Amino acid sequence: MTTRNLIGQRIDVLDKGWIELQDIMGDDLAIVNAARASFLGESKGPEKDKKLLFYLMEHRHTTPFEMVEFKFRVRAPLVTWWQWVRHRTASYNSQSGRYSPFAEGDFYVPAEWRLQAADNKQASEGVLTGPQGEQLTADLVAHYARGFELYEQALSQGVAREMARLFLPGFAVYYTWIVKTDAHNLMHFLHLRMAQEAQYEIRVYAQAIFEHFFKPTLPWTAEAFERFVLNPR
């Protein structure tokens, strides 16, 4: 599959989420040529080009990696977005609940209930199993149904969408966003959000980006990123 053929490809994530590549600017060679701009040089063949790119990654010469850009369309629950937008180097534009009404199924239902880690205040460890987990899921679905019922009731009474949405369960509602970022800042995002200590609901999006879009678009960069950043010796 060529890089251009990736545009428009959509990968399912979580229960109702997805991530779609909308556009790409640049490739591995664009990074190499940007690095050689100081000398008014361009490609010197695959072997030397790849060697230079690996040198850039190893020694943290980051500017050339900013010459490649990715634009994604993403559907994710708000619990994911709260963490994603902390990466302020990306550009974002979001669906608005003031303009577009929500649908009945626009809520995240986790496949399992993770337990609080005993030695980490911000992490989970292990899974709740058996009837307790099943009951929590049933309670959550009922909570969503009641909240959506109140939301629709408010709309039917003429309440503005911007206020009616107060009835919706906040962290669970799905939103659709456009995200644009360069390869350097995307790698920073991936490094943090693919880590095992990252929350599952954002980790799966980061992994989908890396495996399905980043690696096919920038194979040399991805290889160097894995060697020098993700798995340094």
Is 88 a known active-site residue?
Answer: no
CA 118 to chain CA mean position, Å: 27
Angstrom distances, CA of residue 154 to CA of 103, 104, 105, 107, 230 = 14, 14, 18, 19, 49
Q: Which of 75, 165, 193, 203 is catalytic?
A: 193
Angstrom distances, CA of residue 2 to CA of 132, 135, 186, 210, 217 = 48, 47, 21, 16, 8
CB 73 within 8 A of CB 22: yes
d(CA 155, CA 163): 9
DSSP-assigned letters across all residues of 108-119: ---SSEEEEPSS
Instruction: Return the active site residues.
Output: 193
